[in-house]
Structure 1
Amino acid sequence: MPASTPVYLDNAASTALIPAAAEAMAVAWSQPGNASSLHGSGRRARRILEESRESIARDLGARPSEVIMTSGGTESDNLAVKGIYAARHREDPRRRKVIISAIEHHAVLDPAQWLADEADAELVVLPVDDRGQVRVDALRDVLEADADTVALISVMWVNNEVGSCQPVTDVAALGAQHGVPVHSDAISAAGHVPVDFAASGLAAMSVAGHKFGGPQGSGALLLRRDVNCVPLLHGGGHERDLRSGTQDVPAAAGMAAALRAAVEHLDEHRSHVTRLRDRLVDVVTAVGGSRVNGALGAGGDAAPGIAHVSFDGCEGDSLLMLLDAKGIECSTGSACTAGVAAASHVLLAMGFDTATARGSLRFSLAPDNDDDDVNAVAEVIGEVVERARAAGVLSGAGARTGGGR
């Protein structure tokens, strides 16, 4: 029988709104006011917005003037990738290369591909190793060969599917050495691992509030003042003239409150979530024909809350629906590609065969998960995998050798 309350293990897709964020948003919603208006209500809204900006900057190691409020991670990534490319290519038409890793979220992959298709860009995709970590030596080779033609480098901080942490500071240092700005999609990192924008050496960094207990529809692009960027939206010149549009003050307040709580309790939360993750890994890998993927499985540097597991002879979608019927909610990868019957580009880039890539699940935990949640998985995972394998045999999948934010 399914649990009366679902066991939610899809926090990499979206976390629950924490009470502090809801309270901050309620305060901002309690009175009308446009942050650009000059009267009292406008000044009140502006004060909340700027205090939120200052709080976000403090918690991410940035200056307040470097925090550009957006509607979320996808907008932040698009503004960075398209905007910095446009500025650099306009300054020097030779700068046509956009370098990204093979495991980027589609919010980076797709705008980069759009630039290649529509804006004269040349896309360079860096390989990753079998742990899902970018090959820095490959980046070095590209830059040493012809750095003058590179407009932008974008490498994520933490991979959203397998949880592998990337060598962002090494990438940023290489970019600085060759005069190339580096952007990082830190959407799966902020609030989960230590993040310091200034210390990282990055030129730009994207975050999203709903990944760490804030509201959906909130986000920010951190952009150094010395980095030129062409806006995607034109209008009233809000947010350093880079993101026109009336600012969503309640969303900014909620995101700031959630980030403050996440950073204040980071060590405590990481310890708790890591312990649960390790228990969960033990539970699911007790099933025969399973393996843990990414840096976690290889003993490398992995984010605390993500456990990515492949099951031989299974379809991920079958596993997902069978678990859902038992009251366990997880995912087969990025929520942004949910429902798409295709193997994960992340796993394929890591060297997985298509069958194994399609037979994988991502479990992602948050501080509000507990041992009872892991116990619930333990009670059903063996039966679920057995049924999924039986379904695969009946459909002909059993002849195969193997088992996307």
Structure 2
Amino acid sequence: MKRIYLDHAATTPLHPEVLEAMMPYLTDIFGNASSVHSFGREAHWALNDARERIASMLGCEANQWIWTSGGTESDNLAVLGTVAAAKGKRHIISSEIEHHAVLHACRHLEQHGCEVTYLPVDATGRVRVEDVERSIRPDTALISVMYGNNEVGTLQPIREIGEIARQHGIVFHTDAVQALGLEKLNLSELPVDLVSFSAHKIEGPKGIGGLYCSPRVRLAPQSYGGLQERKRRAGTENVAGAVGFAAAAVRAVSALEQKQAQMTAFRRTMIEGLTRELGSDGFIVNGHPNLTLPHILNVSFPGVSTETLLMNLDLEGIAAASGSACNSGALEISHVLQAMKLPSPVTQSAVRFSFGPGNTIEDIERAASITATIVNRIRNNNS
């Protein structure tokens, strides 16, 4: 049985070219990048070369890139670090559909005297710009709204929110973990101050991420020990991971338009296959119909529980998810779908399919057919 992996929003397989780029730094070039001898200098050069390559692709300066352990740390550092350096400003604006790396950081701040405004979203999962402006207070230190949602794919009005933040002199952070390699990102033109990234979403290694930090931002470190990353993030840098991140980013950004077209075709093929076998009223697509990341398709099959469908798909060799990877083991009702105020039959039957470059049209057609067969079988047994 051929297995089909449709959970790329959770993680992606490491690309062979990325592994090849990393190998010398996992074996021969093992020095600590902070050491002054030749072994350390080799590692330091590789680390900065990777930093410069990523910065050039994102339209920022190399000294504005902070290496982290992944998207979660990048989000934590952006939220906690900004508020810690905000000189008495204790109000944060975020949204109800953020990744838990942001939401839990905000909850932590609330426990320490901060106030957080959690913006609602419409039925497509999109924040209203007017709600952002209406929520701003004199003591607002930070606005944090993700670029594209990891569960339903909905894109947010980042440019409009960023312009409002600039007008009011407020730091603006966006989690762009799912957008890298699928959305054109020029950080010198986009009105953002802090942007979170992660390598393992773009066929890079796990355990390495990055945070773009504008020179306008005062950021208090959230880890202590060494003076790495211009005193913003202590700890010996993951040189092999950084090299791998840069190699993966080069691949992803250079083939962006091709990947967009490929993911759009996969998404369309999945919807067409489900429509053909279940009818247009046999399922519901969640999220914005047009303003969406092309590799994410969140679908509800009313009458079929998420857990039952995922178990049956897994038995057929198809990997999908119930929502965000951090919660996929707990199969709870998605906080994103709840924030969208969708009815219970929709929230309780939602499955996320997320596509990647290793998939084929044949894979998607087969997955759609198997999904429809399982859905029909379960519905017939329940009737």
One fold, TM greater than 0.5? Answer: yes
Superposed displacement of residue 390, structure 1: 5.3
Q: What corresponds to 1:207 in structure 2? A: 197
Q: What corresponds to 1:10 in structure 2? A: 7
2:274 maps to 1:284: yes
Superposed displacement of residue 388, structure 1: 3.4
Q: What corresponds to 1:25 in structure 2? A: 22
Q: What corresponds to 1:258 in structure 2? A: 248
Corresponding letter in the other structure for 1:248 = N
Please show how residues 230-379 of structure 1 align to structure 2 within 5 Å: 230-286=220-276, 287-288=278-279, 289-296=282-289, 300-379=290-369
SS of the counterpart of 2:337? helix
For 1:11 and 1:41, locate their aligned partners in 2 and report how far apart those are by CA, in whole Å: 36
2:94 maps to 1:100: yes
Superposed displacement of residue 158, structure 1: 0.5
For 1:315 and 1:242, locate their aligned partners in 2 and report how far apart those are by CA, in whole Å: 45
Q: What corresponds to 2:114 in structure 1? A: 121
Corresponding letter in the other structure for 1:39 = H
Superposed displacement of residue 314, structure 1: 1.2
SS of the counterpart of 2:85? helix
Please show how residues 89-238 of structure 1 align to structure 2 within 5 Å: 91=87, 93=88, 95-117=89-111, 119-143=112-136, 146=137, 148-238=138-228
For 1:244 and 1:355, locate their aligned partners in 2 and report how far apart those are by CA, in whole Å: 47
Q: How many residues align?
A: 379
For 1:192 and 1:341, locate their aligned partners in 2 and report how far apart those are by CA, in whole Å: 27
Cα RMSD, aligned residues only: 1.3
Q: What corresponds to 1:45 in structure 2? A: 43
Cα distance per residue 1:103-133 (max 9 Å; x no partner): 100010110111001x211010111111111
Q: What corresponds to 1:34 in structure 2? A: 32
SS of the counterpart of 1:22? helix
For 1:338 and 1:102, locate their aligned partners in 2 and report how far apart those are by CA, in whole Å: 18
Q: What corresponds to 2:376 in structure 1? A: 386
Superposed displacement of residue 291, structure 1: 1.0
Out of 33, 57, 60, the residue aligned to residue 59 of structure 1 is 57
**217-226 vs 23-32, which deviates more?**
23-32
Corresponding letter in the other structure for 2:118 = V
Out of 48, 55, 80, the residue aligned to residue 82 of structure 1 is 80
SS of the counterpart of 1:137? helix
Cα distance per residue 1:22-70 (max 9 Å; x no partner): 0111022232201011111111100100000001111112110010000
Superposed displacement of residue 72, structure 1: 0.2
Corresponding letter in the other structure for 1:111 = A
Q: TM-score, normalised by structure 1?
A: 0.91
Contact kept in structure 1, 2:322 and 2:331, CA below 8 Å: no
Shift >4 Å, 4+ stretches: none
Contact kept in structure 2, 1:343 and 1:354, CA below 8 Å: no
Corresponding letter in the other structure for 2:70 = G
Unaligned runs of 5+ in 2: none
For 2:236 and 2:368, locate their aligned partners in 1 and report how far apart those are by CA, in whole Å: 48
For 2:164 and 2:62, locate their aligned partners in 1 and report how far apart those are by CA, in whole Å: 26
For 1:155 and 1:227, locate their aligned partners in 2 and report how far apart those are by CA, in whole Å: 17
Corresponding letter in the other structure for 1:154 = S
Unaligned runs of 5+ in 1: 399-405
Contact kept in structure 1, 2:273 and 2:369, CA below 8 Å: no
Superposed displacement of residue 389, structure 1: 3.2
Contact kept in structure 1, 2:93 and 2:143, CA below 8 Å: yes
Corresponding letter in the other structure for 1:19 = P
SS of the counterpart of 2:165? helix
Contact kept in structure 2, 1:285 and 1:292, CA below 8 Å: no
Corresponding letter in the other structure for 1:17 = L
Q: TM-score, normalised by structure 2?
A: 0.96
The percentage of aligned residue pairs carrying the same residue is 40
For 1:79 and 1:140, locate their aligned partners in 2 and report how far apart those are by CA, in whole Å: 24
Cα distance per residue 1:314-339 (max 9 Å; x no partner): 11111111011111111111110112
For 1:373 and 1:127, locate their aligned partners in 2 and report how far apart those are by CA, in whole Å: 36
Cα distance per residue 1:247-278 (max 9 Å; x no partner): 00000000000000001111111111211110
Contact kept in structure 1, 2:333 and 2:347, CA below 8 Å: yes
Q: Quick one: structure 1 residues 285 and 85, their matched pair in 2 at CA, closer, same or farther if it must change by over 3 Å?
A: farther
